[in-house]
Amino acid sequence: TGMFTYDPGFTSTASCDSALTFIDGEEGVLLHRGYPIGQLAEHSSFMEVSHLLLNGELPTREELDDFTYTITRHTMLHDQLRGFYQGFRRDAHPMAIMCGVVGALSAFYHDSTDISDPEHRKISSHRLIAKMPTIAAMAFKYSSGQPFLYPDNTLSYTGNFLRMTFGVPAEDYVVHPVIERALDRIFILHADHEQNASTSTVRLAGSSGANPFACIAAGIACLWGPAHGGANEAALNMLHEIGHPDRIPEYLARAKDKDDPFRLMGFGHRVYKNYDPRATVMQKTVREVFEALQVSDPVFDVALQLEEMALNDDYFIEKKLFPNVDFYSGVILSAIGFPTTMFTALFALARTVGWVAQWNEMISDPAQRIGRPRQLYTGPTKRDYVPVSER
């Protein structure tokens, strides 16, 4: 029937009003509440950007201290959840653990979560932002067989996460300021990105009035896929597989071959038809981290040369395919010491801020209704039931 607009993949459907994030894909512009992502990444902190996304404005000194203190107070996980981890195989993917543990939080904060009450929504949002580093670090510790570390609230949000991930009880862990800054910046770069697949998933799940912890678990599930957040893991695996600049042409040819499902991971974007502004910051951060740690990694050279060759290739020029946020992030994360399987978990940790900010915006919007897309039906027309003996 011609009653509905057919728009698979929602390329031209606005699902909501939003005052959070603006993207101009043609120009490669990304603004959070009006502030360019480059400026935020350079000068701000993840806590500031979280406050900005949640509350609409950059915090004053006092507001920032209050907000940071509030988040800090919620970093611990219910101790019963330690047992929950034991139910997973040691080789479980951290994203599988994240989906499960965040979903399970809904059972711990079930009755208190009256989502029509803004105060309740605020506490749920703070809990989620505060507990994600603890949950992600515990997923890592569980996989490596090391003991879980409790949060240390004298450290920054990002410093505390680094310690819970890489520290051990037997030794003091000293947070490296350059690593802390680089990771905090990576969190800023991932904080929000308007109505992407996982954010739309959170909004859709939340539109029925579901428990916010369950809604964020749904967002984590959607983020996991290689076309979305899983691309950072896939991109670094791809760079390793290419291994040497000599082999780049072979992979470029595969990416262009329509009979080969291979795609350049960390390349292309639904909205950006220009350089992803997050990739620019990411590339610069790789150099800073390498310099500070006095390390290098041959995959970075592969990445740089791959980018250059792709940007000069007619196929990529014609289709406007540029590096996205996931192209360089893995190079930094592995220099810091994260295994590739943790990359998407870090994306989920940072994107939680955007998810809860978008969820809050939706619930407080008077126009909010349950999300309920229609379809174009292509099945059989009405027919009568035939008993099994006559089929």
Where on the chain is the footprint of ligand CMC (CB under 6 A)?
Answer: 9, 196, 227-229, 231, 255, 263-270, 319, 321, 324-326
Closest by CA position to 303, among listed 263, 347, 244: 244
Q: How many residues does the chain have?
A: 391
Contact by Cβ (8 Å): 89, 388: no
**Smallest distance, Å, CB 192 to ligand CMC?**
12
What's the closest the beta carbon of residue 264 comes to ligand CMC, in angstroms? Answer: 4
Residues 6+ apart with CB under 8 A from 113: 106, 120, 124, 211, 212, 213
**Is 326 an active-site residue?**
yes
**The one catalytic residue among 184, 192, 297, 326:** 326
In angstroms, rounded to a whole number, what is the distance separating the alpha carbons of residues 331 and 312?
A: 22
Q: Give the angle 372-377-380 at the CA atoms, nearest 5°.
A: 140
CB 71 within 8 A of CB 157: yes
In this structure, the strands spanning 35-36 and 29-32 are antiparallel
Closest distance to ligand CMC from the beta carbon of 71 (Å): 24
Residue with smaller CB distance to ligand CMC, 69 or 315: 315
Catalytic residue (choose from 228, 269, 276, 297): 269
Is the distance from CB of 302 to CB of 331 less than 8 angstroms?
no
Which CB sits closer to ligand CMC, 9 or 380? 9
Q: Which of 241, 351, 336 is nearest to 298 (CA)?
A: 241
Is the Cβ–Cβ distance between 312 and 162 less than 8 Å?
no
Nearer of residues 204 and 265 to ligand CMC, judged by Cβ: 265
Kindly state the smallest distance separating residue 356's Cβ from ligand CMC, in Å. 18
- b/e burial code for range 67-101 (CB count within 10 A of at least 16 → b): bbeebbebbebeeebeebbeebeeebbbbbbbbbb
Q: By C-beta, is 89 or 270 nearer to ligand CMC?
A: 270
N- to C-terminal Cα separation, the chain: 31
Which CB atom, from 77 or from 325, has the smaller least distance to ligand CMC?
A: 325
Q: How many angstroms separate the CA atoms of 104 and 217, rounded?
A: 9
- Quote the least distance from Cβ 344 to ligand CMC, whole Å: 9
**Nearer CB in complex with ligand CMC: 125/232:** 232
Smallest distance from the beta carbon of 222 to ligand CMC, in angstroms? 10
Q: How far is the CB of 167 from ligand CMC (least distance, A)?
A: 29
Separation of alpha carbons 251 and 159, rounded Å:
38
Q: Which residue is nearest to ligand CMC (CB)?
A: 268
297: annotated active-site residue:
no
Residue 22, beta-bridge partner list = 31
Residue 270 DSSP code? S
* DSSP labels, 328-387: HHHHHHHHHT--GGGHHHHHHHHHHHHHHHHHHHHHT-TT-----------S--------
> Of 70 and 341, which CB lies nearer to ligand CMC in the complex structure?
341
Residues carrying an active site annotation: 269, 326
